[in-house]
Amino acid sequence: MTRLDFAPGSSIAYHTGDWRVQQPVYRDKWPPCSRACPCGEDIQAWLALANDHEWEAAWRKLTERNPLPAVLGRICFHPCEGACNRRALDTAVNVHALERELGDRALRNGWRHERLTARFTNRKVAVIGAGPAGLSFAFQMARHGVPVTLFEATDRPGGTLASGIPAYRLPRDVLEREIDAILDLGITLQTGVRIGTDRDVDCLRESFDAIFLAIGAQRPRRHPDGGAEGAGILTGLDFLHQVNTGSPPAVPSRVAVIGGGNTAMDAARCARRLGADVTVICAQGPHGSQPGHPDAEITALPEEVRQAEAEGIRIRYRLGVRRVVHGGGQPAGVEIARVDRLHDLEGRFHPRLFAGTEEFLPAGMVIFAIGQEVDWRGLDTLKTLSPPEVMVGGDAASGPRFAATAIGSGFQAASTLLARWVEGVTTHAERESREIPAQALNLAYYRPEPRQEPPASFASPNDFREIVPGLDAAAVEKEAVRCLSCGVCFHCGNCWNFCPDAAILRREDRFTVDTDYCKGCGICARECPCGHIDMESLLT
């Protein structure tokens, strides 16, 4: 039928779609929370399931990437919340509290991880180090039916999570039960075996098809002052290890903690709980003091610093230690001075102090928490080989980072291997990564709702009980609803309601565009709350 040849009848015969110069396309995006997540969790997806009260499905979606939600929900630095688009409306979604809630729900209800395949492959992998990276790798391999043997040098799994994180932040039983759930997938755990010392590296290469090295960064960095060793002088990791294994050292009335990272903060707060008066000496400035230069600010998380100060810990900034002052076989204190420059000419962290600004800080115990390095002893032959036979992950690969980074690296290593070994598994890199900034949302369709926070309680001396409670059931539901679902359709129906041309059609599970009639006005895309609809130009 030509344009001018009409028979009486319905306008449906006239296709207005040829007026169009642009057309709407429904397209899922990858929201900023997930882009920021070191584990690569699909946060929007599991929040959506939680929103629908599909708690177990939400937990399963979450644990596809992170098998330790109850742990990470407590200790993660949650960059997801720093990236959350909801900040443009009111405040970020409390992702970490909801992650923790799902993890705790799984522990309460005894949900178990499911194997994705019943069949075991004939390939075997060894994991060296049962910290977060090693556990994450082992979890992914075991789910896909690859037999895993996990070697751990200490007497229990968990790595820094077990030895470095105090119980008031991460109760022991939470960690143990989440690790048990991972091991339940059929992972063989051998504790007390230090590869390279107790067992030869090369025999591992004969018995396994691949080795994942996740030995962490466990060797504490030393202070250049030669006198910084001896009784009463500890590293942060050693001190935390003693506290966390139930044999804390006796602390004197005054303790000095040197360093500005999270280990320093943990050590200071443990010493405080053991009854000491604690001063932290931090080479960097406080949070917010050096805009644009995050390197020059204290690296411990703001909320850790806030809680430490609320517990009565003094933090002194832009000061460095020149030497430990001894008296009678014990430290008497430290000589501190003002920091001139933080980094040397090569850009390495190496504070230089101003001469003439020295002062004496009395302390009967000095705890150095000034960084950690990877301990490669006995493993040097593995270092030189290339993947896939040997892969390195976690802090051993990246230097000291976060538990979430370690879990993410375990996932990436596992998916690289699985993509070669198991049919139907793709590598982690193949995710579409179109951005969805806050400007792409239509915030008119969301109501401001206050962020749900648990009431924080601060510790009394010698109390190692958990200080931050979870959200109650009502708060959990209120918080889950706050997710904006950036870039992912949640079937509100705005496009369908608003289309002036009946060009959006509803189907059982989605909406579609009828290009026979769409005039390309762009209202659907503009009124889509979550930026799921793109307008694409048809002009060349």
Partner 1 sequence: MDTRDPFRENVLAAGHRACAGCGEAMAARMVTDLIGSEAIYVAATGCLQVFTTHNAQSAWQVPWIHSVFANAAAVAAGIEAALRARGDNTPVVVQAGDGGTFDIGLQCLSGMIERGHDVLFVCYDNEGYMNTGVQRSGSTPHAVRTTTSPPGRLRAGKRHLKKDVLAIVGAHHLPYAATATVAFFSDLQDKVKKALSIRGPRFLQVLAPCPLGWDHAAERTVEVARLAVETGLFPLVELEYGTPTSVMHLARQRPVEDYLELQGRFRHLFASDRGREEIRHLQALADTHVAHYGLLDPDRPGATEASVAARRHAWGGYARPRREPSS
Residue pair 100/127 in contact by the 8 Å Cβ criterion: no
What DSSP letter does each residue of 306-329 carry, written as one string? HHHHHTT-EEEESEEEEEEEEETT
Tell whether residue 429 is a contact of partner 1 (CB under 8 A): no
Tell whether residue 303 is a contact of partner 1 (CB under 8 A): no
Q: Write down the residue that tokens 């990858």 correspond to.
A: 30
Cβ closer to partner 1: 10 or 460? 10
CB of residue 97 to partner 1, shortest distance in Å: 20
Cβ closer to partner 1: 10 or 122? 10
Cβ closer to partner 1: 12 or 250? 12
Among 76, 485, 486, 532, binds partner 1 (CB under 8 A): 485
CB of residue 60 to partner 1, shortest distance in Å: 20
Cα 469 from chain centre: 19
Among 250, 345, 444, 539, binds partner 1 (CB under 8 A): 444
Interface segment toward partner 1; rule CB under 8 A; list 249-257, 259-267, 279-287, 489-497: 489-497
CB of residue 518 to partner 1, shortest distance in Å: 9
CB of residue 485 to partner 1, shortest distance in Å: 8
CB of residue 94 to partner 1, shortest distance in Å: 18
Residues 241 and 303: their CA atoms lie apart, in Å, by 23
Among the listed residues 456, 475, 476, 474, the one whose alpha carbon sits nearest the alpha carbon of residue 466: 456
Among 23, 51, 85, 235, binds partner 1 (CB under 8 A): 51
Strand, helix or coil for residue 540:
coil
Site string for partner 1, 52-71 (x = CB under 8 A): x-------------------
Interface segment toward partner 1; rule CB under 8 A; list 187-195, 209-217, 241-249, 491-499: 491-499
Residue pair 44/31 in contact by the 8 Å Cβ criterion: yes
| Residues constituting the chain | 540
Site for partner 1 in 497-536 (CB under 8 A): 497-503, 505-506, 514, 516-517, 519-523, 525-527, 529, 535
Interface segment toward partner 1; rule CB under 8 A; list 120-128, 343-351, 406-414, 487-495: 487-495
**Running DSSP on this structure, what letter comes out for residue 219?**
E
Phi and psi torsions of 354, nearest 5°: -75, 125
Cβ closer to partner 1: 68 or 486? 486
Tell whether residue 448 is a contact of partner 1 (CB under 8 A): yes
Interface segment toward partner 1; rule CB under 8 A; list 80-88, 378-386, 458-466, 486-494: 486-494
CB of residue 341 to partner 1, shortest distance in Å: 50
Q: Write down the residue that tokens 């206050």 correspond to.
A: 450
Interface segment toward partner 1; rule CB under 8 A; list 143-151, 187-195, 370-378, 438-446: 438-446
Per DSSP (E only), the strands in 192-313 are 210-213, 219-220, 233-235, 254-258, 277-282
Q: Write down the residue that tokens 């990436």 correspond to.
A: 412
Cβ closer to partner 1: 334 or 521? 521
Residues 86 and 450: their CA atoms lie apart, in Å, by 11
Cβ closer to partner 1: 62 or 525? 525
On the CB side of 317, how many CA atoms lie within 13 Å of its CA? Answer: 13
Site string for partner 1, 1-40 (x = CB under 8 A): -----xxxxxxxxxxx--xx--------------------
Tell whether residue 490 is a contact of partner 1 (CB under 8 A): yes
Tell whether residue 342 is a contact of partner 1 (CB under 8 A): no
**Running DSSP on this structure, what letter comes out for residue 17?**
G
Residue pair 275/263 in contact by the 8 Å Cβ criterion: no
**Sign of the alpha-carbon dihedral angle for 361, 365, 371, 373:** positive
Residue pair 93/86 in contact by the 8 Å Cβ criterion: yes
Cα 111 from chain centre: 22
Tell whether residue 357 is a contact of partner 1 (CB under 8 A): no
Query: Which are the contacts of 10, defined by CB distance < 8 A and separation ≥ 6?
Result: none
User: Residue 248 has which token pair?
Assistant: 């804390």
Strand, helix or coil for residue 78:
coil
**Running DSSP on this structure, what letter comes out for residue 465?**
S
Cβ closer to partner 1: 138 or 525? 525
CB of residue 291 to partner 1, shortest distance in Å: 32
Interface segment toward partner 1; rule CB under 8 A; list 45-53, 214-222, 289-297, 322-330: 45-53
Residues 300 and 169: their CA atoms lie apart, in Å, by 14
Phi and psi torsions of 293, nearest 5°: -130, 70
CB of residue 52 to partner 1, shortest distance in Å: 7
Tell whether residue 102 is a contact of partner 1 (CB under 8 A): no
Tell whether residue 355 is a contact of partner 1 (CB under 8 A): no
Query: Which are the contacts of 456, defined by CB distance < 8 A and separation ≥ 6?
Result: 307, 467, 468
Please report, as ranges, the residues that interact with partner 1 according to CB under 8 A: 6-16, 19-20, 48, 51-52, 444-448, 481, 485, 490-494, 496-503, 505-506, 514, 516-517, 519-523, 525-527, 529, 535
